[in-house]
A and B are shown apart, each in its own frame.
Chain A
Amino acid sequence: MSVAYKSAVASSARRISAMMLRHWYLLRSSWPRLLDIAYWPTVQMVTWGFLQYYIASNAGFFARAGGTFIGAVLLWDILFRGQLGFSISFLEEMYSRNLGNIMMSPLRPFEFISALMVMSIVRLLIGAVPVTFLAIAFFGFNLYAFGIALVAFFFNLMLTSWAIGIFVSGLILRNGMGAENLAWSIMFLFMPLTCVYYPVTTLPGWLQPVAWLLPPTYVFEGMRALVIDKVFRPDLMVAALALNAALFAAGVFAFLKLLQSARRRGSLMQSGE
């Protein structure tokens, strides 16, 4: 490995760490931000946990399938919070009118994306880890009992959340804050289609192929197989990974194209609508 190459890699790592540091300083300085990260996943888990208690006491199947709802909520939160963590970290640059500084610095797009990906994990861990322990304490549901399957679920869901987060950030770069709402709402489009709370067979026949095009569908089906049938389905995880690779590549490609378009339109200096 040449000296120049090593130096370029070190510089790149330093720029990524600079962006992570910038967001870490921000999180550390703002308790409302930290509270916001943790409070909604907690509320959602508690609500669905009680609902599951109620249903399980009235239906034999759900008594057997104990944990599918809480498991689905916790996994959905990984998907949703992963994307939101990415997009919010990006939006912080728009809110603080700092995007011009970032875009004119030597930071490369892939370094910017890498830093936002790491920060989405940090935000997710701050928000989701305490909730998983609450799920054990309140409802006796131990997400960590999924073992290696949890790693596969987590990795696949994060890949999807990053792909969507990258795409939405590109849209905001090009179109300004008018596209901000997408950052908050786009994932809900995936909720019915990825069959978070019910099997794919619940969907009408014509919609099922669409559901199978989305990587999270495989994760939620895999989770139900694990909880209900006590079977880990690696085939589902491999299929999800293959689709995620394509989705992630498409997200990055779209981001670069949108960035190029923003340079043509002159929208990188703007942070308004």
Chain B
Amino acid sequence: MPQSPPIAVERFVKIYKTDPAVDGISFTLAPGSITALLGGNGAGKTTTIATIMGLITPTSGRVTVLGAEMPRQRYRVLQRMNFESPYVEVPMRLTVRQNLTVFGKLYNVDDLRKRIAELGHELDLVDLLDRPTGNLSAGQKTRVSLAKALINNPDVLLLDEPTASLDPDTADWVRGRLERYCRNRHATVLLASHNMTEVERLCDRVIIMKRGRIEDDDIPAKLLKRYGRRTLEEVFLDVARGNGGEAREAAQ
């Protein structure tokens, strides 16, 4: 029997009252791939990711994760997924260890002490484990959020701007850890980001959204060639400013 794709989105539409936030998009992610979901504000990225997480019910179409339809069958797969977003935080009064203990139990992690110790070493959190999360710097908090996102060794990881508000050094460090995790675990990652350096470094596929639709979808090298650009940032600007067609024609 063929294995279900980690994430499959088929003709997905989401309408809030009368406004379509997402307008009939389809894509499938391959196991072990890292895909970027790009787009300006209001492009529909957050709605798409939230629907994949089971937080939003599609108006029409179908979204599946590891073969389970979201949100209807979400409890079949939530234990194998996780996410990180700067817009969602872990409780600040709890220590890092307490937070990881709570989330480890929620995700039914075996040998939780060992897993917390592993994450402490991998994400350089050993000295911070018994400090209240709220007392940490932005970079340290991001590492804690990442530890929470990796606590259950997820097969599917959703990341919403994982390095937003981090200094370049810390951001680079976080990207390195993510890369290593995905390589070792063969995890599938969907990443929403406005940081094109991050996308170029991490992603082997880029989906560009605009006004709820997919404007383009390819590997970074082909996108650069198609638009005749040297960076993804230039490609992003072409699409965002409505110059994508002209840029493609010029490149051809």
Contacts and interface: CB of A to CB of B under 8 A. Distances in A.
Do A and B bind? yes
Interface of A: 11, 14-15, 17-19, 21-22, 25-26, 29-30, 92, 96-108, 260, 263-266, 268-269
Q: How large is the interface on B (under 10, 10 to 19, 20 to 34, 35 or more residues)?
A: 35 or more
Contacts of B94: 22, 25-26, 29
B93 A101 contact: no
Given A15-B108, A21-B98, A269-B56, 19 more contacts: A18-B104, A19-B106, A25-B93, A26-B93, A96-B91, A96-B93, A97-B88, A98-B88, A98-B89, A98-B90, A98-B91, A99-B88, A104-B53, A108-B75, A263-B71, A264-B56, A264-B57, A266-B47, A269-B88
Contacts of B93: 25-26, 29-30, 96
A25 B101 CA distance: 11
Contacts of A11: 108
Contact of B16 (A14, A100, A265): A265
Interface in B20-70: 21, 46-47, 50, 53-57
A92 B93 CA distance: 11
A34 B104 CA distance: 26
Contact of A100 (B79, B88, B101, B106): B88
A263 B57 contact: yes
Contacts of B90: 96, 98, 101
Given A265-B16, A266-B50, A18 B105 contact: yes
A21 B75 CA distance: 22
Contact of B103 (A103, A105, A263, A265): A105
A266 B106 contact: no
Contact of A104 (B21, B83, B98): B83
B105 A104 contact: no
Nearest to B47: A266
A56 B78 CA distance: 61
A64 B57 CA distance: 61
A97 B106 contact: no
